[in-house]
Structure 1
Amino acid sequence: MSESYKPQPLTPLDPTVDVTQNHYWSYHNIEALLSCKKPLTASQDEDLFIAVHQICELGFHQMILDLDRVLEAIATAFTDPQDPIIGDTREACYFFKRVFRLYEVVVMTMPILTTMRAFIEFRSTIGPTSGFQSFQFRQLEVMSGVAKSYWTGGTNDDEGKPHVAETEFDRRYGAEVAAWFERYHKHSLAFYYQTLLSRAPGESTAERIAYLQTHTQASALLKSMRSYEELQNRFHQAHLGLAVQQLEMVGVQIGTGGTSFRDYLVKYGKEVAPLFPGLTSKGASSLET
């Protein structure tokens, strides 16, 4: 964190709040949180299925807040008149570390679903419910710099018709997603990575990365970006592994979102990764995490 940041006690956002009445169960809203899990069948696996996804979604929510802080801090660092490359990145790296810890929780939580033995008991009951419909994960990917084309037609069948999982998602969140693409078009991790490269001397990406490694503030940011991409790739791989295991147990090759899950889930590695070209290559192996 920047040394200029001096934390002080803050007053409640609502001045009428009686803080003496705060207790663990009320402050964290535990009863309301627990009431959010509502299985539709008597399956002993369905409650776990819901809990794991809700844990991930809570993680995504905080990651969005902190990744926005990362992006704002990077944008501010680029305005430093004293350094043509980039100014103080400590604030960005501080919030990046929080994102990493949350992503690690998500990456470690999702594989718990491999312990399910009876997905078939409730699979038909959840209808077209699909990870494809996680609007929070979609926002994280947009903030990262994943292009719109990655999701377009993601559930198309052989005739080119999108599955109801996609059409309903677009109906419910289409306007918000469009606003995200507008907001993060020049305010994403991938955009700022390319901006950083453009400010460094050198003819090739490798030469520019090598130069940035000698710049204290830029080097710290590159390390954070590489760690972020590694966690993002681990999540996509974990999701694929989970889908393969569970749907093979059910005996199907089409996910609840209407996709040929193997084809769609490997699409990220083929069409998106790496977000930061050259950073995760052998040429950048000297970047320590």
Structure 2
Amino acid sequence: MDKRPELGDFLRSRRARLRPEDVGLTHYGGRRRVPGLRREELAQLAGVSVAYYTRLEQGQSQNASDAVLDAIARALNLGEDERAYLHGLARPEPAARRRPRPERVRPGVRMMIESFGDVPAMVIGRCTDALAWNPMAHALLAGHLDFDAPDRPADRPNMARLLFLDPHTRELYADWRKKARDAVAYLRLAAGRYPDDPNLTALVGELAMKSPEFAALWSTHPVGDCAYNTREYRHPLVGALTLSEEVMPLPDDRGQRVMVWSAEPGSPSAAALRLLTEVSAETADRPETAPTRR
């Protein structure tokens, strides 16, 4: 993924969302040719020359210092994730020489999520692939898929692909649009972190071609990391649930994260999770419907 046009598009999108009065500049009225801040105004705020900022936005300068990038980030009111994304685009790392190997889950991590029992837990890779899930996470998120699918790198489920292209997953989220924007924001961040990952590039290209909603969201350049959240679900077997979602990076496994879902004790959602445990156990006991498990 070429970072030069990405950098320019990102900077222009962030200039467009700011008005002069938002950043303490005087607006003397009259029609403006561009939405938001002009290049000259942003350069003034960041303390750099207009010519230098223009070269940066056009991808013609790849030696910007941390101080300059931080000044531009402050001028644009960027958040922490957006600031990191800007640094990644402006200071690209050398391209990887080899195709990345399929991601694997360490045995200790697999044992950890299996030990969670009735608490849904799964491991997600840097491209949002489902690398492993325990029975409850499978029942909550993807009971219509083969339980062993994450163990097959060639066709393992991808959570972003499911979100935009799978009707079962789309119906699962009460606020699908919020979930979709969060997913695109993470993929933007991942694209900055892993620009030479062909799997990520292929995923973004596929979703942009097959989902107009993804393409529209991608064009707005949202940037954000996965973090804790509370979401409402409409599960086909147990109905409505409100669950807390915790995301924990695995420092020794580049880009991998553990996700865990929980309900407030004593709540209707906790009762629904217990019911899902019973329903999924009954389903697993039926030979004709049981998912294959190792």
| TM-score, normalised relative to structure 1 | 0.25
TM-score computed with the length of structure 2 as normaliser: 0.25
* Larger strand share, 1 or 2: 2
Structure with the larger helix share: 1
